[in-house]
Structure 1
């Protein structure tokens, strides 16, 4: 195992996909600022400045974190209590066994305090830290512990999963429903003979739930990968904020990560994820408060589900295509691949745009007499392409609670038959699912080609729609496409060149779901996000006519959902 003599920063990876110049108005102060590679590199300077003995202590800390993760992952019942569909940590047993887990950190803190205090860089921090900033740091009593464990099986080799986690670009791509932004800041230890076994790196991450109303979580951490046996790997994260503190950091990662056990006779890997954090949950949006404080919103189930979804996506791309028997329009292999890839692009873009990530820089609409509260808006300016003029688009989003099971709401929103009830462009028309590509075991997980026609059967517009549901949440994302664009895509056109402005829905349970069946959960938190062209807005303001459109679209959408919820409860 080689010890690297220096650290060099690596580029950051953002999940934002092609949003143009991204000029935005009056950002909400909660999420203002951008991640700066120059500021992030300050962490490397801090680590280099304390080359010894702090660097050695970081290595020791990562080793002890790996030991803790392994014990928590393989324990059959000593540390964990069943809670609905996953497990939560037994705090008493944990303290009895591990005690002060971060004793190493205490030594580091003492060493750091001997000299001038150094503070961990934050995405939007100022160059100079002050004593005032230190006084504004989150008090220790404000942090709440969230700890959960979940597992799943995928037909993959452990090293493939390890590569997803240790490569920052792959990590961002696989976990795009959770990770808003990630940076690999440098490598402290090389792996054995250049492999991932024994590799230790320093990273930063920004994590989100699918709503602009929820503040993202950010932290800096060490990630350590180790091959424990011929069939077992583990990748552990442990927070660095405790000895390189910064007042704006709102999460501390206790030893968390992925434990992978390969079963050669079955050809499967069992993935066990442990997510253990201390989080500042003050000032939470009331709609999301319970599901966040339960540990589910940022918990192990969402991480495991992301791995399963990525595996299913890769299998869909590899599978031999057989058109569904109930399809109205039969499409070829090229069209299938194009639909799947455009659907994946739409889903990624929607998750990026509807989150509270700092780069989105939302601003809040003034309250109105409408019962739709806390609407967030962002303006995007898109640079002109050759032969075309520049354009401006509006993204607007909000979240509301509805007393209906998440799966029932998901099935309502994804159905072509129901679309005219809530979609203004389809109102009064007929919507038909022409064809679809299934993704995974659940038949509702699919990419669909929808067509809208009038009462004379005249063509109006097409939609590409992707729907996906699992125990961690449900999504319906769509984008309008004209006939020529659809034809080009189905005939093998480049799916990366298809222009899309995705809109859609994200549905979370308002409490920990009992299972992933159709009646799982008592109620739902529905987040809507619409992305439309707007020729009236400029980068500094949204005119009144555009505000009228925003309110009209949201009002009619929620009216349709409320009508469905009322009829479903009769």
Structure 2
């Protein structure tokens, strides 16, 4: 933070050279220690006397005039923050008054006489009318008062904003709960934000795109305050907001320091059933700052950047497109569904604001914060997890080599409406499942993949001939579509769902009949089951991607060996690659296997799909492959989280040790492996799950799990 370090007059008879030097050195960047000491003194006394300023000057090595101007600037900054909060409160009060007035008028119109069906007539109708006139006069007076106060903040009275459209409500329900929700401790008006009804497919609802100016002003204020908080959390540890985790060395939030720095009277933390997840991580990404910001602003590109985390997204409304020629200042209202790659963990569904701000040349801050929309709670009531995202996001800083340094923060308040599944208890409570490290490592891996896609000349082996750069890009796009398809099928937003428990160890298979995310009008049955293995994740990943060990688990290949006939690198790690495999000793010479393996510090994926030989040749020649149908299966692998627990264990008092798992895990380096199969049910959008199809999928998963445990020398009981 830079503050003015000089000002006012001086001796007019001094050396002109010295005066020129003083004019050039008008700003001074204080050190973190100096700012921390000044902030501490500001909390004690915002108007220090000359003696105190001189003492601070000697202590910090600053000129007394610098101390004086720092406190002046700090008081001005604090006053601006208070005025902005007051402004938001006034706008909310004004909206509340207008809503009450509208509700009263609507109620009077709808009141009927029970005997004749017409408007009621009473002996006191004249006095009732006079009473209403007096109440309306009082409301108008209150509105004028609020408007005049707000005028100095908004530049015009609130009464000059576009008129509010009438809200149609039932005369039997006039409670203010029908008109607003609560977000960030302030009333949230629902003007023009009524949610659309759910579709027949059960997809999440979206508000209409006719958001009023008053709502946009409120969203802008919420986003600005969220950005202020994020920047303070991203700065150096001057307020001891972040501490090192004793278990894994990662950075976790010091909740006591956070609550002192950001007091929130209506905090969800007051609810004992709500737990907090907060983490910070930083690293280098192989993409320049402008390209990264562009991917965050475009919701489709953002989903492509995080296919393993973002299962569904949509931009509801662009509140502001930012400054001309720059994304700085852009603000969007968005909807997202975030997942762990297992059907045992519920997705986190939320509406949120995304605000982008350029801090300085080559430095960008992007903040996401939950934004509660009226009637949203009823739409999400069926979810077993209620998640609220506090100011989170990242700082993107340009590096001279075309890369970017990214610092990521994730901050959640979560209420589990049902117990977390025993297999994922440690991973969820440790904060690793939706933490900053997972977001950053996924970004690093995908940016490496994008860099390889742009180079597109790194094929090691060939299928008939060395593929051209166009052919390599086409193969990479086909494989990426395959991976996206699998990730989207694990926790689909809609469809018929069922759960089956198989065997004495109760292997839980969850199946969903839904429309394919890859091809319209295709009904697909996606089934997934998760198991725990006492084997490190890297060992499990190498086992699945090695073509020599494939016959040990691939029940579809009838234990026939396979041969890799084409290979495309996808990143610096050899495990990130695309392979084309041919099954040997089989009569199906026209069918090949397309496989992509992905690995980062948060987990790994091995996805494969049968593709006929003509389609592979088409992709290798660089042709369009978007019409090729894909029905992938595969495995997701993640650490079990038992070695990454924060001090004190889980946030709800539940045990998070290995004893929480009835299978008696004996190692802290185990793996959670999700087996996923997809079966085409029908080429029409209407179909039902037949018992035969369910049995087929259950047998596939059961046999595959048995073979995996047998190959990894694990108990199959």
TM-fit CA distance, 1:86:
3.3
The reply to whether residue 191 of structure 1 matches residue 334 of structure 2 is no
Structure number with higher relative contact order (C-alpha < 8 Å, ≥ 6 residues apart) = 1
The reply to whether residue 94 of structure 1 matches residue 228 of structure 2 is no
Residues 275-424 of structure 1 mapped to structure 2, 5 A cutoff: 275-283=410-418, 284-319=420-455, 321-324=457-460, 330-333=465-468, 334-355=470-491, 357-359=492-494, 361-369=495-503, 371-380=505-514, 392-424=523-555
The reply to whether residue 218 of structure 1 matches residue 349 of structure 2 is yes
- CA distance in 2 between partners of 1:537 and 1:367 (Å): 29
Q: Secondary structure at the match of 2:508?
A: coil
The reply to whether residue 274 of structure 1 matches residue 409 of structure 2 is yes
TM-fit CA distance, 1:189:
3.5
Contact 2:285 2:403 in 1 (8 A): yes
1:41 matched residue in structure 2: 208
1:483 matched residue in structure 2: 613
The reply to whether residue 466 of structure 1 matches residue 596 of structure 2 is yes
2:583 matched residue in structure 1: 452
1:113 matched residue in structure 2: none
Contact 1:403 1:565 in 2 (8 A): no
Superposed CA offset, 1:386-437 (max 9, x none): 9xxx865432111111111111111111111111111122223121111210
CA RMSD across the alignment: 3.6
Contact 2:590 2:613 in 1 (8 A): no
The reply to whether residue 557 of structure 1 matches residue 704 of structure 2 is yes
* Residues 267/285 of structure 1: CA separation in 2 closer, same or farther (3 Å cut): same
* Residues 396/197 of structure 1: CA separation in 2 closer, same or farther (3 Å cut): same
Q: Secondary structure at the match of 2:507?
A: coil
- Pick from 352, 355, 358 the counterpart of residue 227 of structure 1: 358
Instruction: Count the aligned residue pairs.
Output: 493
- CA distance in 2 between partners of 1:535 and 1:444 (Å): 35
- CA distance in 2 between partners of 1:75 and 1:245 (Å): 37
The reply to whether residue 496 of structure 1 matches residue 643 of structure 2 is no
1:528 matched residue in structure 2: 675
- CA distance in 1 between partners of 2:200 and 2:510 (Å): 16
- CA distance in 2 between partners of 1:549 and 1:152 (Å): 45
Superposed CA offset, 1:18-44 (max 9, x none): xxxx998xxxxxxxx31233xx228x6
Note the residue ranges of structure 1 that are not aligned, 5 or more in a row. 13-21, 25-32, 107-136, 515-519
TM-fit CA distance, 1:545:
2.8
2:713 matched residue in structure 1: 566
TM-fit CA distance, 1:501:
0.7
- CA distance in 2 between partners of 1:229 and 1:408 (Å): 44
Contact 1:372 1:555 in 2 (8 A): no
TM-fit CA distance, 1:346:
0.6
- Pick from 73, 82, 88 the counterpart of residue 234 of structure 2: 73
Contact 1:428 1:454 in 2 (8 A): no
Contact 1:252 1:277 in 2 (8 A): yes
- CA distance in 2 between partners of 1:160 and 1:521 (Å): 39
- CA distance in 2 between partners of 1:243 and 1:460 (Å): 55
1:18 matched residue in structure 2: none
Q: Secondary structure at the match of 1:496?
A: coil
The reply to whether residue 82 of structure 1 matches residue 244 of structure 2 is yes
TM-score relative to the length of structure 1:
0.78
Q: Secondary structure at the match of 2:712?
A: helix
TM-fit CA distance, 1:97:
2.5
Residues 118-267 of structure 1 mapped to structure 2, 5 A cutoff: 140-193=271-324, 195-241=326-372, 246=377, 248=380, 250-264=386-400, 266-267=401-402
Contact 1:8 1:187 in 2 (8 A): no
Could you say which structure has the higher helix fraction? 2
TM-fit CA distance, 1:142:
2.3
Superposed CA offset, 1:312-334 (max 9, x none): 12211121514426x68653124
Contact 1:471 1:513 in 2 (8 A): no
Note the residue ranges of structure 2 that are not aligned, 5 or more in a row. 1-153, 156-160, 163-190, 645-666
